[in-house]
Amino acid sequence: MKRRAIVVVPTYNERANLESLVDSVLGHNEAVDVLIVDDNSPDGTGEIADQLAERHSGVHVLHRTEKNGLGRAYCDGFAWALGRDYEFVLEMDGDFSHDPKDIGRFIEAAAEADLVIGSRYRDGIRVINWPLNRLVLSLCAAKYVQFITGMPFTDPTGGFKCFGRTTLEGIDLAQVRSNGYSFQIELTHQVWRRGLRVKEIPIIFTDRFQGSSKMSKAIIREALVVVWQLLFRNGLRRCPNPGAVAEPVQARSHPGG
């Protein structure tokens, strides 16, 4: 069977980045499709996405009616991808912070893992152009997540990831509560607590050159609370607990994977 992967890219006001980003993904990767999930961006990103989809058969667009957070956009994108026959589903930001040339390394690593996480902090810090306060916040968040949940990963808030199809089918998307960076933590926690294989690979993260960040204080507050909820959801255990995790509905509806 031919290996097929799709990169889900959530966008909100990414007009300046989208076309070159899609060109770069398609140019550097064979047999990789792109799904743009746009939240009715006022800057016209959605129309650019439609033009790209007309031009390239491997580009698809999901339009959502309003800005409703990264997590909801990803959940809709995942449901769309799982409705088709992709073997791997990747997450990637739409602002060039993640390098489309790395996609191949994620898919290779996913042959031996259920979830591959791109890490900025494994074996050294590789973050370009971030202000010091943003870097310190991200590093402290990583330690906080490790300490409270017990997950050993160096970069739990990162958003460059690759899920094997069955891994994603096993995640109860309806149970996912968080929407900001904690969405990344929560998804990884759902995979890790089931005892699945999670692998971190090093990536270089570069701050966006165009457009602006959607980071907010509300996103930080949400993450502070969500990690405690995850600890409780795992029966106060700081280790995987596969026996206690029920099979989600969508996994049962795709028995063949």
Ligand X SMILES: Nc1nc2c(ncn2[C@@H]2O[C@H](COP(=O)(O)OP(=O)(O)O)[C@@H](O)[C@H]2O)c(=O)[nH]1
Give the residues lining the site for ligand X (CB under 6 A). 10-12, 14, 37-39, 67-70, 73, 93-95, 97, 208, 213-215
Quick note: the x/- pattern for Mg ion over 234-253, rule CB under 5 A, is --------------------
Q: How far is the CB of 12 from ligand X (least distance, A)?
A: 4
If binding is defined by CB under 5 A, does position 138 make contact with Mg ion? no
Q: Given the complex with ligand X, which of 96 and 153 has the nearer CB atom?
A: 96
Classify residue 30 by burial, with Cβ atoms within 10 Å: 0-12, 13-18, 19+: exposed
Q: Please state the closest distance from residue 1 (CB atom) to ligand X, in A.
A: 31
Q: CB 241 → ligand X: shortest distance, Å? A: 30
- Residue 14 binds which entry of Mg ion, ligand X, none, with Cβ cut-offs from 5 to 8 Å by kind? ligand X
User: What minimum distance in Å lies between the beta carbon of 251 and ligand X?
Assistant: 25
Distance CA 85, CA 81 (A): 8
Strands 88-91 and 161-164: antiparallel
Toward ligand X, which CB reaches closer, 9 or 113?
Answer: 9
The smaller minimum CB distance to ligand X, of residues 38 and 186, is found at: 38
Residue 125, sorted as left (phi over 0), alpha (psi -120 to 50) or beta, turns out to be beta
Would you call 62 helix, strand, or coil by DSSP? strand
Give the DSSP per-residue string, 4-44.
-EEEEEEESS-HHHHHHHHHHHHHH-TTEEEEEEE---TTS
Site string for Mg ion, 93-112 (x = CB under 5 A): x-x-x---------------
* DSSP state letters, 144-189: HHHHHH----S-TT---EEEEHHHHHTS-GGG----STHHHHHHHH
Nearer to Mg ion, 130 or 144 (CB): 130
Q: Binding partner of residue 10 among ligand X, Mg ion, none, CB under 5 to 8 Å per kind?
A: ligand X
Q: How many residues bind Mg ion (CB under 5 A)?
A: 4
**Nearest-CB residue to Mg ion?**
95
* Total residue length of the chain: 257
Q: How far apart are CA 158 and CA 154, in angstroms?
A: 9
Name the minimum Å distance from CB 256 to ligand X. Answer: 31
Measured from the Cβ of residue 66, the count of other Cβ atoms closer than 10 Å reads: 7
Alpha-carbon distance of 130 to 145, in angstroms, equals 21
Compare residues 134 and 238 and give the one whose CB is closer to ligand X. 134
Q: Which is nearer to Mg ion, 114 or 222 (CB)?
A: 222
Cβ proximity to ligand X: between 35 and 251 the closer is 35
Residues that bind Mg ion (CB under 5 A): 93, 95, 97, 208
